[in-house]
Amino acid sequence: MQRTLVLCKPDAIHRRLVGAIVQRLENKGLRLVAAKLLHANRALAERHYAVHRGKPFYESLLNFITSGPTLAMVWEGREAVQVVRALLGPTDGVKAPPGTIRGDFSLSVQNNLVHASDSPETAEQEIALWFAPEELVAWEPCDERWTGATAG
């Protein structure tokens, strides 16, 4: 079972889209194992987006992500990293196809509502950055034998 970090960025909170976003992850069969609302400071934002340091959009991105509340979550499920990335769609809301979260709710490159880890290795690092180990809740959904089955 794989885990991935998902952030509802400040635009998602301001636009009251948290429910719609969480609904899609739940509908897919993923399970929520951690969640907290916080206002990210510059240090956290710099560490989270370290890979983008030096890019033209870096400062604007940090200003955006530190501009308001973020809902940080960890979701778990079979191949959760690639499953959540697919549910989000491509970075640019204009290019994201209808049916994806970004495709349905965003027209922006920067303000694209949600972050999700892009590999299992990144997921591990990002989860450790946003959560303490004791904040993760291990549990098994009552319908796991239906939603989590790998056979067939």
CB-wise, 61 or 73, nearer to ligand IDP? 61
User: Mask 52-81, x = binds ligand IDP (CB under 6 A)?
Assistant: x----x---x--------------------
Minimal distance, residue 111 CB to ligand IDP, in Å: 7
- Residue 23 sits in the site that holds ligand IDP (CB under 6 A): no
Between 111 and 141, name the residue whose CB sits nearer to ligand IDP. Answer: 111
| Residues linked to residue 98 through DSSP beta bridges, in sequence order | 100
- Are the C-beta atoms of residues 102 and 93 closer than 8 Å to each other? yes
Collect all residues with Cβ–Cβ distance below 8 Å to 36 and sequence separation of at least 6. 71, 72, 131, 135
Among 11, 71, 115, 126, binds ligand IDP (CB under 6 A): 115
Per the listing, tokens 């591990």 go with 124
